[in-house]
Amino acid sequence: MTPVRSRRWEWAVVGAVWFVLVGVTAMWLAIDRHPPEWDYANHLERAVLCWRGLVTGDVAAVLGRSSFYPPLVPCLAGLLFRVMPSDAAFGQIVILAFLGLAMAATYVLARRWASGGGAVVAAVLVGTAPLVVQLTLRFQLDVPLMAMVVVALETLLRTQGFKRAGWSLAVGIIVGLGLLTKPPFVIYVAPAIILSVLAVRTRDAVWNTMAATLVTLIIAVPWYGPRILGIPMQVQSRSFKQAAESGLPDALSAASLAYYPLNFAAQFGVVGVAMFMVGLVVVLGRGYWYVLAGLAPLVAFFLIQNKQLRYTLPLLPLAAVAAGIGFSALPRSVRAFTGALVAVAAAVQVSSTLFAVPPALSVPLVGIRLTEPSPPSRAAWQQRPILSLIARDASGRDAMVSVPPNSAWFSIANFRYYAVRDDLPLRFMRAWDDDR
């Protein structure tokens, strides 16, 4: 097979896997009747408000909507809300598009060090990782952040140490958009940026670096400028204070340090973890420093107290790249069996996570869960009918609505989202809030 035909076949496999993921996710969304929970509802609310702000030309309102979450992803979804005003459509189309972008960028990045088959394995491992599949069901910023990180890492390499002006400007644009996806973006790309800057050797490369920086500032400063002091304080609070209030173990305690290693398989899949371990040995032996730089931010997440698998999700593409390198290093006679194992594991992970078929998988004796099933539910929730009755009873007057429960499916977050979406004249408060 010629190199061109081989590349086409590889892209066809990656595309086919993504289309299957889109199809099964659409099936899940068509069945499920859960209302959006907590942050999911908050992001959908911002999407609707962003669309309205863009329609009226109120850019200040769009930029000032949240003190911590940038507007890029909600506004992309807001544009779709105009033509697809469905909870199961306008948000998830954006998430699935970012998933496809992440898989494509992972394939391209892995192709630098792995064989074509290894690059395909890397893309499949990312798209079918249990945590990725689970988060694809919800309109949150984690999958878009993961996609922007791996795109930025690939684009940085294309600058060849900022020698190429066009790609240097592209880096500036992508880093700026990455910052508008979620503030922690900079943590995931900082080691790779430093490595690229250290490779700068010529005056033209210096100018290209400065131009890329300027482009990033032009894109990011309008949103970050008013928050330049507040965001670091929020990050510090989320990393330690809120974790302590939630009763999480100290950052450097044995239980805390063991969290990510013990849950890596639930995040990435058992076969993915095994391939990653093989690949990591190869990466270290061959001195693939850029891959290690992409994985280096993991150290920062070990040092904070608030440990969540979502926080390390943007590192999965680099873990997949390492796994693809490990696959490529296997003897040719072993690769076919390993590829089949990857395919079977991917199918089981997706099926277990989306439909609980098979039910939650776990490691025998140890009890470590390998999947977190999120099967769809046809149970009807009544937020919108309740709000319609309240608005009708208020006869056009503003009404204050108190939502005492704070459960995932029945909280002030999803009630407020539905009121905003349906443009009802209602205001909301928690039952325990004193401020009226």
Instruction: Answer whether residue 360 is part of any domain.
Output: no
User: Do 390 and 350 share a structural domain?
Assistant: no
Confirm whether 374 is domain-assigned.
no
What length is written for the chain?
A: 436
Q: What is the pLDDT of residues 317-373, one digit of tens each?
A: 999 999 999 999 999 999 999 999 999 999 999 999 999 999 988 877 667 788 999
157 within domain boundaries: yes
Give the pLDDT confidence score for residue 436 in this predicted structure.
42
Scanning the structure block, which residue is given the tokens 């390198």?
325
| 3-class DSSP state of 164 | coil
pLDDT of residue 284: 97
**Residue 132 and residue 40 share a domain:** yes
Is the domain of 115 the same as that of 161? yes
Single pTM value for the model: 0.95
What is the pLDDT, as a whole number, of residue 84? 82
Residue 392: which domain range?
A: 383-429
> What is the average per-residue pLDDT within 209-233?
95
| Torsion sign over Cα 55, 228, 144, 178 | positive
369 assigned to some structural domain: no
* pLDDT per position as a tens digit, 287-318: 999 999 999 999 999 999 999 999 999 999 99
Is there a single domain that holds both residue 325 and residue 394? no
Higher pLDDT, residue 66 or 215: 215
Q: In the prediction, which pLDDT does 92 show?
A: 93
Spatial neighbors of 334 by CB under 8 A, at least 6 apart, are none
Q: What is the model's pLDDT at position 226? A: 93
Last residue of a domain, one of 355, 374, 397: 355
CB atoms under 10 Å from CB of 60, counted, come to 9
Tell me if 370 is assigned to some domain. no
Together in a domain, 14 and 81: yes
Of 67, 59, 125, 181, whose CA–CA distance to 342 is shortest? 125
Q: How many domains does the chain have?
A: 2
Residues 120 and 208 in one domain: yes
If asked whether residues 221 and 305 sit together in one domain, one would say yes
Same structural domain for residues 420 and 330? no
Q: Evaluate whether residue 349 is within a structural domain.
A: yes
pLDDT tens across 141-183, in order?
999 999 999 999 999 999 999 999 999 999 999 999 999 999 9
Residue 15, token pair as written in the block: 């595309």
